[in-house]
Structure formats: C-alpha cells, structure tokens
C-alpha cells in the first residue's frame, strides 16, 4: 500500500479557521481595552496552551528522528505542518511582552508590601527583570522557530526528489536539538508560568511542562491522522493507530507521573513557601478545576486508553485525542489563572483568546501546507513504514 502523492490543496479549512480566529481576535482587542489585565491573562493561557501542542509535536519529531523510528514516517508530515505556527506564536507573544507589568509581580518590586516577598524578589532581580525576560523569551521563540523551520524544510526537500542524505541529516539535527529543547523549555516554563508566583519553585516543573507538551502533541497528531485518514489522504492502518495510542498513553502516564510527584513531594514536606501554590488551587474557586484535572484529565483517559481495543479503533481513539486536547486547555488554565486572583475561575475573555490563538495558528499551519504532500512519500523508509504491523 503506497500513497498517491497528491499535494494538499488547502480548501475551505484555511478560511474557516482564519475567519473564526479573526472574529475572536476582535473580541480580544475589545477586551484589551475594557479589562486589560484579565484579557492579558487569558491571552497568556491561550498562547501557552497552543505552544504546548506545537512544542509537543516538535518533541515527537525529535524523538522519532533521533530513534530513527520507522512507523512515524507515515504521519511525520502532519507534525511538521505545525512547525510554521511557531513564528506566528512568537508574534502573538508580543502583547504579553508589552503587558508584563500586568502579569508578573516581579516587574514592580517597590510595590510589593510583604517584606519576605520583597526580599525574594530583590534576590531574583538579576534574573527576573523585564529586559532579561524579554531577551530570553525572544531567544526561546526564535530558536524553536528556527528548529521547526529546519525540521520541516529538510523534510519537504524529499518531496521534490529522493534525497538519501536527508534522513541522517534530520537525525543529527534532532539529536542536537534534544538537550537544547529540554533546557530552553524548562527556562521558558520557569519564566512564563512559574514566575507568575515568584516565591514558588518546583524543581520538576520543566519535566512536567515537557511531559504535558508531549501529551498535547501526541493528541494533536492522533487527531490529525484520523482526520486525514478519513479523507484517504495518508496510508495508515490500524497498527499505526495502535502505535499512536500507545504513544498517547505513554505520555499521559509520564505527565501524570511528573504531576503527581510535583504535588506529593510538596504536600508531604509542607514548606509554606511551596504549598501556597497548591493551596491556592485546592481550596476556593479552583477546587473543582483541580478535581477535573485529577479525574478528567488523568483518571478517565487512563482507564479508556489502557484498553487494547480502543487503541486500535480509529473513531474512539480520535475522540480521546480530541478530549485530551480540550482537557489540556484546562490544565494550562489551572497553571496560570489562579495567579490573576481568585474571584472568577473563567471569564468570557478566556474562550475568546483561545479561539483566536488556536484559530489563527491552525490557519497558519494549513495555509503553509498548501501545495505540499501530506506524507513524505519519497522518504526511503516510507513504504516500509506504511507496511508497519504491530499486534
């Protein structure tokens, strides 16, 4: 079974995503005028959410290339499609950089009344200051955009002509990227999320953020595979779904593992400086969302995805992937929103921001894919990957 290499034509999807995203963006612009702080928080949540998915897809590409894995070759292009989103997210990050003082308490140390907090902020000032923060953010986003660009460009090169050296080259790039990605992601998670509560630290946070991203990436890839398979655009079999289902399940468990130890070690040691972060989320208005994350983001998908039958069922697996993608939004929301104050858990600005960011990102991905194949059909291992069997 081989693919008929027909380039992707784009079609209505681009315009629908663009229109919906742009409409939501208008709402957000109103929001920035009416309630800038809450809208900025909603925007940060939305950008970080979409970023986890794109980074996750990049992570899956890195892992697949580094391991020289066979079967992912069939679905690789779908992950590569998301790479042009990274610079777009970089642009979307500009409002956050402009509104730092509305988000991060460390931007104005003089205004902090609590002497203990003041002392910590003074200590952290060489790292947590607006100029260095902006510089770092630009660096991460530029670096990831460059990596994504190379991953995609070198892969697309095989569409025009068979290129025997490209697989080793991609592999070398991915291997070099892996440690750099790990370090920059950890730093970014520290900067963008952890420093919202500047007195709080958790050493595992970088790992946790990576696991969360990989889970989001696996869910997006599974969903994209099912979507394109339904339209007979890529040659996948039930064995590929089984493989994707296992990847999704693995990352789900990995994320739960990091999240569990993040909570557990903090809880049992009970240091005031650390538990505050969890107390804020486990009592008060965010309590329900915390329970949803335990039961809805982990418990339910775990019980469903552990079964063999579901991992080999296109429709059910696609549903679970969509469900996990949606649940991931609440996870990111749960990480960020409590820091804006405990009055209301959700705002109208929250859905507006996520629809705008996700819609425009999707439009960017689909638009840049026009004219390119949806599967790297001339990759030397493509035929073998399409034949993949696993029971």
Partner 1 sequence: MNSSLPMAETPVLTGELSPTMLHEQLLSPIWKPHTRLFLFGLVLSGMGTLLAVFAITYTVWRGTGVWGNNIPVAWAFPIINFVWWIGIGHAGTFISAILLLLEQRWRTSINRVAEAMTLFAVAQAALFPLLHLGRPWFAYWLIVYPSTMHLWPNFKSALPWDAAAVFTYGSVSLLFWYLGLVPDLAAMRDRAPGRLRQRAYGVFALGWRGSVQHWRHYRVAYGLLGGLATPLVLSVHSVVSTDYAISLVPGWHETIFPPYFVGGAIYSGFAMVIILMVPIRRIFRMANVVTTRHLDAMGKMLLVTGWIVTYSYMTEWFYAWYGGDQYEQYVFWHQYLFGPAAPVVWTALFCNMVVPQFFWWRRIRQNDLLSWVLSVFVLVGMWAERFMIIADSLQRDYLPSAWFWYGPTWVDWSIFVGTIGFFSFLFLLFVRFVPFIPTAEVMELAHEMKKERQREAAA
Q: Output 150 or 201, the one with its CB closest to partner 1.
A: 201
H-helix or E-strand spanning residue 227:
helix 205-230
273 is a site residue for partner 1 (CB under 8 A): yes
Structure tokens at 6: 């027909």
262 is a site residue for partner 1 (CB under 8 A): yes
257 is a site residue for partner 1 (CB under 8 A): yes
Q: Output 26 or 67, the one with its CB closest to partner 1.
A: 67
Of residues 179-208, which lie at the interface with partner 1 (CB under 8 A)? 179, 182-183, 186, 190, 199, 201-207
At residue 377, what are phi and psi to the nearest 5 degrees?
-65, -20
Specify burial of residue 359 (Cβ count, 10 A radius: 0-12, 13-18, 19+).
buried
Least CB distance from residue 306 to partner 1, whole Å? 10
Task: Select from 1, 268, 303, 309 the one that contacts partner 1 (CB under 8 A).
Answer: 268
344 is a site residue for partner 1 (CB under 8 A): no
70 is a site residue for partner 1 (CB under 8 A): yes
332-343: b (≥16 Cβ within 10 Å) or e = bbbbbbbbbeee
Q: Output 11 or 384, the one with its CB closest to partner 1.
A: 384
> Do 261 and 204 form a contact (C-beta atoms < 8 A)?
yes
Task: Select from 32, 127, 278, 300 the one that contacts partner 1 (CB under 8 A).
Answer: 127
Least CB distance from residue 201 to partner 1, whole Å? 4
Least CB distance from residue 182 to partner 1, whole Å? 5
Q: Output 137 or 369, the one with its CB closest to partner 1.
A: 137
Least CB distance from residue 184 to partner 1, whole Å? 11
Task: Select from 8, 43, 71, 192 the one that contacts partner 1 (CB under 8 A).
Answer: 71
The Cα 354–Cα 269 span in angstroms is 36
Least CB distance from residue 383 to partner 1, whole Å? 10
Q: Output 98 or 294, the one with its CB closest to partner 1.
A: 294
Under 8 Å CB-to-CB from 24, ≥6 apart: which residues?
351, 352, 353, 355, 356, 359
The Cα 158–Cα 63 span in angstroms is 20
H runs (alpha helix) in 67-192: 76-80, 85-92, 94-98, 100-103, 115-124, 130-160, 166-192
Three-state helix/strand/coil letters over 265-276: HHHHHCCHHHHH
Please name the residue that has the structure tokens 């679905």. 75
390 is a site residue for partner 1 (CB under 8 A): yes
Least CB distance from residue 265 to partner 1, whole Å? 5
> Do 124 and 199 form a contact (C-beta atoms < 8 A)?
no
Binding residues vs partner 1 (CB under 8 A): 68, 70-71, 119-120, 123-124, 127, 178-179, 182-183, 186, 190, 199, 201-207, 246, 257-258, 261-262, 264-266, 268-269, 271, 273, 381, 384-385, 387-391
């Amino acid at each position: 079974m081989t693919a008929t290499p027909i380039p992707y034509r784009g079609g209505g999807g681009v315009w629908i995503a663009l229109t919906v995203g742009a409409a939501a963006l208008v709402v957000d612009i109103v929001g920035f005028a009416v309630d800038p702080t809450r809208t900025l928080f909603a925007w940060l949540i939305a950008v970080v959410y979409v970023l986890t998915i794109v980074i996750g897809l990049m992570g899956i590409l890195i892992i697949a290339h580094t391991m020289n894995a066979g079967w992912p070759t069939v679905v690789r292009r779908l992950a590569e499609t998301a790479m042009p989103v990274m610079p777009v997210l970089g642009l979307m990050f500009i409002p956050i950089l402009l509104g730092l003082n509305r988000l991060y308490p460390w931007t104005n140390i003089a205004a902090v009344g609590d002497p203990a907090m003041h002392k910590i902020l003074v200590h952290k000032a060489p790292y947590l200051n607006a100029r260095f923060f902006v510089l770092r953010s630009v660096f991460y986003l530029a670096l990831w955009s460059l990596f994504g660009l190379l991953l995609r460009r070198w892969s697309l090169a095989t569409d025009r002509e068979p290129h025997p050296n490209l697989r080793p080259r991609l592999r070398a790039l991915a291997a070099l990227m892996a440690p750099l990605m790990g370090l920059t992601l950890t730093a970014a998670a520290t900067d963008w999320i952890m420093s919202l509560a500047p007195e709080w630290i958790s050493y595992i946070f970088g790992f946790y953020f990576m696991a969360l991203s990989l889970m989001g990436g696996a869910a997006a890839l599974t969903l994209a595979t099912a979507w394109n398979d339904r339209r007979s655009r890529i040659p996948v079999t039930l064995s590929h779904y089984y493989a994707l289902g296992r990847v999704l399940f693995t990352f789900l468990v990995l994320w739960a593992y990091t999240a569990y130890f993040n909570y557990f070690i903090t809880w049992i040691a009970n240091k005031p400086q650390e538990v505050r972060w969890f107390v804020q989320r486990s009592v008060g208005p965010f309590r329900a969302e915390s329970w949803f994350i335990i039961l809805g983001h982990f418990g339910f998908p775990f019980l469903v995805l552990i079964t063999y039958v579901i991992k080999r069922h296109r429709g059910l697996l696609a549903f679970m992937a969509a469900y996990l993608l949606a649940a991931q939004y609440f996870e990111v929301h749960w990480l960020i929103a409590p820091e804006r104050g405990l009055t209301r858990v959700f705002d109208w600005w929250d859905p507006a921001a996520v629809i705008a960011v996700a819609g425009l990102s999707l439009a960017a991905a689909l638009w840049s894919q026009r004219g390119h194949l949806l599967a790297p059909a001339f990759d030397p291992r493509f035929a073998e990957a399409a034949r993949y069997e696993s029971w």
